[in-house]
Structure formats: C-alpha cells, structure tokens
Structure 1
Amino acid sequence: MTELSKDAAPPGPASGSTPAQVKGRNGQLALLGGTLLVDNTEASLVSSLFPLIKQSLGVSLGALGILTAASKIVGVFAGPFWVWAAQRTSRKSVLVVATGLWGVWGLAAGFSQNFTQLLIFYTILAAGYAAGGPIITEVIGDLFGSSSRGRAVGIVYGTVSLVSAVIGPLKGQLAGVDEGWRWGLWGIGTFNVLLGLALLIWFRDPGRGAAEQQLADLDQATRDAHSKLTWDKAFSLLKIRSLMILIISRLLSGHLLVITFGVVFLVDVHGFSTQKAALVTLPFGVGYFLGTLLGGAASDWASRRSPRYGPVAVLQAAQFAFAVFAFFGTQFHYDSILVYGTFFALMGASQGINPSVNRPMVMAITPPELRAPAFALYVSIAEAIAWAGYSLGAGFLADAVGLGAVFLWVLVVLMVINGLFLSLLYRPYAADTVRVQRELDARRDTALTEPR
C-alpha cells in the first residue's frame, strides 16, 4: 500500500472532472434528517422514561440493560440485511419501509402489558431503525462531496440532537401523565409512519457516486456499471486498516452509555426526580449540536491543514475531552441540576464531534458502493455490539456496585484508553484515502475510454 511522504495531501480528482453539486441536496438532507430525528426520538424514549416503565411493569434496573442490548444486538443482523435489500431493490424503498412505516411496531409497544411483550415489540422496532445508520449516511455521501461532507453530517446529526434535546424535557413531562410512556410510544410511532409516507412522496435518491468529482459528469448507468457491489469487494473492507482501527475504537466507545443511563444515573445516584433529571437532555442535546458543527468545521479545516494527521487528531482529542468532562460531571455530587446540566452539555459537545469526523473518514477510505456495507460494520454491528455490551453489563453491574462506579470505568477510564488507541490510525489513514482517490480516477478513465 502506498504511503505518503511527510504530510502530503492525497492526489486530487482526475483532470477535467466536473465539480460535484447534486441538485436539491439540501432538501433531501432535511428529509433524511427528519427520518433520523423520529427514529432517534422513539429509540431513546424507553431509556428516558424507564423509571416509569420500571414502576408500571414492575421490573428492575437490569431490564433497561436488556431492552437496550436487545435493540442493539438485533441491529447486528438487521443492519446488513437492510443494506443487502437496498442493493437488491432500492435505497428509497428500504428507507420508506424500515425507517418510516416500521413505526407501527412502536404503536404496538405502547400496548405492552408486561415486560416480555415490550421487549419483543421494541426489539422488532429496533430492527427497522438499523437501516437508518448505514443507508442514510451512505446517501449523504452521495449528496455531498468530500469538501463538504463533514459539515453536512454535522448539520444532520447536530440538528437531530438539538431537536431531540428540546423534545427530551417534554418526554420527561410524560412522567406526570398516567401511563405516560405508552402515550409517548403511540405519539412517536404515529409520526414515524407519517414520515415514511413523506419519504415515499418526496425523497429522490441521487444514486451512488453522484457527489464524486471523478464520477459526477457520468450518467447513472455508467456509474453503476463500474461500481457494482460484489462479495469480493464486500470482504475487501476487512483489508482496510483504517476501517478496522475505527471499528475497534467504536467498540471502545464507552460514552455511548451516557445516552442510555444518563437520566437514570441522576435519579438513582443523585436523588433527582425523573422530571428534573430529564432536564439535562436539553443541554446535552444543545452541546451535541454545537459539537457536531464544531466537529464538521474542525474536520474540514484539519483535513486542509494536515491531510495525514488532521482528522485523526480531532477525533482523538474528542475522546480525551469527553473523559475529562465525564469525570467531573459524574464522579462528584452537586446539589443543583444546573451544574450537571453544564457538564452534560460539555459531554454532549465532545461526543457530538465524533460523527462529524468519523463518518466522513469512513467515506474517505471506501469507494461509493462499499460505504453502506462499511457503515453496516461500523454502526449496525460494531456500535450495536458496543452499546449492547455496555448497556447490558452496566444494567447488572449497577445493581451490584452502583452506577457511579460503572460510569467511572466506562465513561472515564475506557475513553482515555480509546483516545490512546486511536494513535494507531495516523499511519494508515492517509494511505487509504489515496487508494480510494486513485481507484475513482481509474474508473473515470475507464468510463471515458470504453466504447459506448
């Protein structure tokens, strides 16, 4: 594999290529962001209102770990399946069904009469959400070129988090309604179905490779002919060193736990009411939103200043920052929820940097047809296993040693280890981005020289 000398920038697109500018991309981005928002809101509803579910169904804290773990484990199988289905049919049809109309299972979950029923319906619901991560992220890569992907990803994930943060305290107010968690599932499930219909009517798939400068001026049939996904190509993902390091790093991402157990932590460890504890979801979401914008801008700036080291350094710094904020925000007792809100905002900001940096990095080291499978590995499998493992382990460990100790080891110590581990990414990342650019250049040359 070719190595770059010093800090040289990867070679640019082929000479004579057309600047990539997908028509109507901002409108499509808004529609995809809305899909992620509804999916994210319904997926987080159970964790936010678990104290009510705990009381309503008579379960222990470990049940939250089981719910979260089951919803993530099913994604390990469902994510790759939806990617395969999108290759065989269309990305639009999969998004309409899996991330839209699938909301009927949320409605069913609201009618659960015991924990077993809730577990079954919630797990089926999560199987549909598993399509959103890899497919929507892949489409964003086809809507925006490499120079603007960081900002696009940051805007989507940031806006989703910000609106979710605003909705968070409102979800907490359902604690004052009899069986409020059921009404939450019914309401979000309904919106999910409506959004599926909106996707059916207004979503327009730009096609794979539409935003690549080397391929932008080629027709879709030509792009597809030279970028078909095969089993050999799919298995070649395992040979991309940068991707393997990013995947292992995702397995070490202990900060995922704060989303699942943050509210419960403040209730059980620091004695706040569910309604008051839920207030921290707002500053967390605002912080996450600002972090995604900061991460997108920092990633684009760092890539221009130092293609070899820039994005990796930003990603690494985000892990260390989270560990510091988590230490001071979870290992000390403060009487005011405002203090916790401040630290949750800082944790949200440092966590929000991640998707704006790591998603464009995955896009940079994979050709268009491999991005959905890559994100299936990275999000649907690696992130799901990590989230399931931490949530399941934390749920039972919390019953034994308390959430305070769990948060120390997972949110602080493990995140420091993760930051150190990312040092391994410096060498292979630049070489892998060069390889992709050369492959796209070769495809363009082949498409222009082959007889029609």
Structure 2
Amino acid sequence: MGNTPMGDDLSAPGTVTTETGTILARPTNLDPGVAIVESDGRRPDATGTKGTKGTGKAMAAMGFSQAVDNSEGGLITTFFPLIGAAFGIGEGMLGLLSAISKFARMIFGPFWAMMADKYGRRKILILVTGVWGLWTVAAGFAPNFTWLLILYAISVVGTVASEPIINGLLPDLFKQSQRGKAYGTIRAIGAGVGILLGPAIGLFARGDDPSPDAWRYAMWTMGAISILSGVLIAMWVRDPRQNTACDDMMAEAGTFKISDGVKLFKIPTIYLMAGMVVLVTSLVLLAFYPNFLVIERGVSVFETTLTMSCFSIGAVFSAFLGGRLADLFVRKFGEKGRIMLMQIYLVSFAATVAIVTQLPYEGFGAAAPITFLLGLVFSIGFSGCVLPMVSNVVPTQLSATALAMLFSLIQVGVTALMSLGLGFVAEAFSSQTMFLWFVVVPYLLNALYWMLFYKVYPRDVERQQERSDQVAAGTF
C-alpha cells in the first residue's frame, strides 16, 4: 500500500483560491500542460475544462517510477529462496530484510518529502528514482549476507521516495472530484508495468534448477531499469508549483517543518487515520506471500513471479475500480460514501486473504487464479477512499506532509516492527498461521473501527478551505 505527498506551501500575496487550494497567480514557468482551475471548476479563460496537455506522459512516467520502486522491494522477497540457499539463512532473515525497507520508508519517506518541498519535487524524483538505481546494481555484487544487508539498506533509502512525492503532485494536477480517478490511474499504471517486469526478471530463475546467481542478475537488471525511470521523469514530468520567479516568496512558504505534521493531528479525520493504519497489515502479507508460495504451496521461484503478475493484473482492475467506485459512492451518498466503500473493502479483503492463505492447494495452476482474486480486491480502499480522503481534509499546502506522516512514518513503522518478529513466527509455526492472526483478523477489526469516521470526516471536508486559509495566514 500502500503510501505520502508533499505539497509546497505557496500561500503568499498575489494568490488565487482554487478548488485544490491556494496557489500563486500565474507563475511564469508553470507547465503549459497544467491549468489553474478556479473554485467553481472553470479555467481563467472560461473554457470550462481543465488542461490535460502533457499530463498523460507525466502520469505514465510517474506510474513507471512507482512500478520500478515497488518491484525493487519485491525483488528480495521473490528471490529470497535463492538468497537463503546462497547464504544459508531462513525466514527470520526475510523478516529482517522486509523490516529494513519499511524502516527506510518510515524514516526517509518524510525526509525525501521535505527535500521535495524545499528543492523541487521533480529534481528529487530524478535523484531517487534514477541515480539511486546504482545502489541496487551494487547490491547484486554482495559477497555475503552482511554486505547484502548494507547495500540493500542503502538502495531502499531511495526506493521509498517516489510514492510520497508523486502522491503530492496529483492534487495539483487534478481537481477534487477527479482525484479518485487520478490516484487509481497512477496505481493502475504501476501495477500494469509490474505485470511485465516481474516475469521478465523472473526468467533468470526459470527451470527446476535455476542458477544460484539468478538473484544477482535480477538486481543488476532492476538497477538499470531504475535508472531508465529517472530518465523518463526528467523528460516528461513537470512540477506545476515550481516557480523560479518567486524564489523569495517560496523560500519561507515552501519549507517543510516537522511542527506542521504534528499540527495536522488536530484534524479529527487525521488522528483517526493514524489509528486506522496500524490495522492495515497488507504490507506484511506482500512481504511474506511469495516465499509462502514457494515453501508451503510448491510453486517455483519463476512461477511465483508469474503468480505475482496475476496479482498485478488484478490490481490494475482494482485500482481503476476503486477510484471509480469511490466517485460513484460520493455522488450517491455524499462524503460518507467513501467511508461506506472502505468498510466494504476491508471485509472483502479479509475474506480474500483467508481464501488465499488458509485453503489447501498446491502448485501454480491453483495459486495463479486465487492470487488474481487477491489483486482484484487489493487497491480498492486506498486508491478510492484513503488517499483522496486525506487530501480532502488537510490544508492543501500540507497534503504531502499528511500522507508522509500517516503512511511513511506511522503505518510503515508499525509494519517494520511487526516484520522483525513475524519472520520468526512464520519460521516457528507457519506462514499460514501468521497470515490468519496478523492480516485477516486486523482487517476485520478495522472494518468496525471505520464507524468512527462517519461523524468527523464530512465536517473536516467542509473545513478544509478554512484550515488552508489559516496555514496561509500562519494561524493554523
């Protein structure tokens, strides 16, 4: 899940109020493909439509970037059976590797978001998505497990950055009523690219007796693809809030402060979200599921990459479906519609995980279709409900900060601590037992927890502009 955008604080004299917040009036170097939309949804030229020139390539580049970063994280878990055999380690070390990536997200997600706010989101994306791929290449040369830990830890410091920054760009590119679709589209593009990346890299492990160095070839290849994604970001992505002509105004307004993130918890929806994410344990599922297929369901490493591509195919449909379902629920039920859909999603996902991990089956032929079912449900709640809800209640200047605090800090921090121990739980008992108590049960509890949002969320949506004005005035 997945989850942290950073919005520049552009409140200053000479601003206009828009549907997505307060932005500088006609910055001189605004991407020509990004139009300023007035609060009534009209462009200043009164065409009544929002400009979209160039946003298609930008979304493709951002979706590709997310796919690469997600695939880099999944690389270790998919190829862990070969890594374990090469270095003589068990599932406890898989938990350690998984925890490293999550601690990196917790610590460096807000850090990169801060850097993006201060130095420009596009520049930081190029650094962490493209240049940082060299560390993934280096990890493929690790002579022992200790060196693999060190080099992998450095590589994931950059891997965690793209999602928070990209999520922060989308509210600037799309008006409020279209954000569910926008978040869903980005996630769908990322999942679609993952469909091709997984099996392609998995070819290194094809056959009943794959090369013991297959995981090294995979790391080298993934690092090269990461560098390519940085090139695409440089070519196609523009930051609509970038404004070199207003450096003096931006110097103070664009600076991220930790205190801003703390202040967000004065918003009832946000502190409820902080409690909610503790019960979203899908990151645990994704960390251990590929190894579960190999060890407990008799699926080969290469077949596991194909199986996870079935998951990605399902996730493509899920992301599109989530965004559109949420927009439909909002039209029919108002702001409470997203809450209703989220509860339906949580129960559905718990039931699906129970089917995928608790039913007895063997081999690729059985694993592929039920894993597709898992992917079909996976993205509905976050693409259609959680991400738009957060962006709809926080001051528009701090939307990225909010997502960084909730998902890069709180959720991933809790998941990292869980992963440290759950690898040993799976090793001592079974992954099947671990999935039941640490994925299925928390999701069912979360469905009940979401009853608390019905009272506070609609009120917080109504107060978003008020709070944005308070941030602009320095009184929030």
- Kindly report which structure 2 residues correspond to 1:47-196, keeping only aligned pairs within 5 A, or say none: 47-175=77-205, 176-196=210-230
* 1:430 paired to 2:458: yes
Give, as a single letter, the amino acid of the residue that structure 1 aligns with 2:278: L
Do 1:49 and 1:171's aligned partners in 2 also have CA atoms closer than 8 Å? no
- Kindly report which structure 2 residues correspond to 1:14-413, keeping only aligned pairs within 5 A, or say none: 14=39, 18=43, 20-21=50-51, 23-175=53-205, 176-207=210-241, 228=254, 231=257, 233-357=260-384, 358-413=386-441
Do 2:299 and 2:363's aligned partners in 1 also have CA atoms closer than 8 Å? no
Deviation at 1:169, TM superposition (A): 2.9
Deviation at 1:249, TM superposition (A): 1.6
Do 2:202 and 2:218's aligned partners in 1 also have CA atoms closer than 8 Å? no
CA 1:443/1:62 → structure 2, altered by over 3 Å: closer, same or farther? closer
Deviation at 1:244, TM superposition (A): 2.0
Per-residue CA deviation, residues 92-131 of structure 1 (Å, 9 max, x unaligned), is 1111111221111101100011111111111111111222
CA 1:229/1:21 → structure 2, altered by over 3 Å: closer, same or farther? farther
Identical columns (%): 32
Higher mean C-alpha displacement, 46-55 vs 410-419 = 410-419
Deviation at 1:443, TM superposition (A): 9.4
Do 2:64 and 2:193's aligned partners in 1 also have CA atoms closer than 8 Å? no
Deviation at 1:363, TM superposition (A): 0.9
Do 2:118 and 2:254's aligned partners in 1 also have CA atoms closer than 8 Å? no
Do 2:66 and 2:162's aligned partners in 1 also have CA atoms closer than 8 Å? yes
Structure 1 portions without partners, runs of 5+: 1-11, 211-218, 447-452
Structure 2 portions without partners, runs of 5+: 1-36
- Secondary structure (helix, strand or coil) at the match of 2:297 reads coil
Higher mean C-alpha displacement, 384-393 vs 80-89 = 384-393
The Cα RMSD (Å) is 2.7
Give, as a single letter, the amino acid of the residue that structure 1 aligns with 2:381: N
Give the number of aligned pairs. Answer: 425
Per-residue CA deviation, residues 180-224 of structure 1 (Å, 9 max, x unaligned), is 11111111101212322332343211118x9xxxxxxxx988996
Deviation at 1:69, TM superposition (A): 0.1
Do 1:53 and 1:181's aligned partners in 2 also have CA atoms closer than 8 Å? yes
Do 2:68 and 2:225's aligned partners in 1 also have CA atoms closer than 8 Å? yes
CA 1:443/1:273 → structure 2, altered by over 3 Å: closer, same or farther? closer
- TM superposition score normalised by structure 2: 0.83
Deviation at 1:67, TM superposition (A): 0.6
CA 1:227/1:240 → structure 2, altered by over 3 Å: closer, same or farther? farther
- TM superposition score normalised by structure 1: 0.87
Higher mean C-alpha displacement, 326-335 vs 57-66 = 326-335
1:419 alignment partner in structure 2 = 447
Q: Tell me the distance in 1 between the aligned counterparts of 2:320 and 2:406.
A: 22
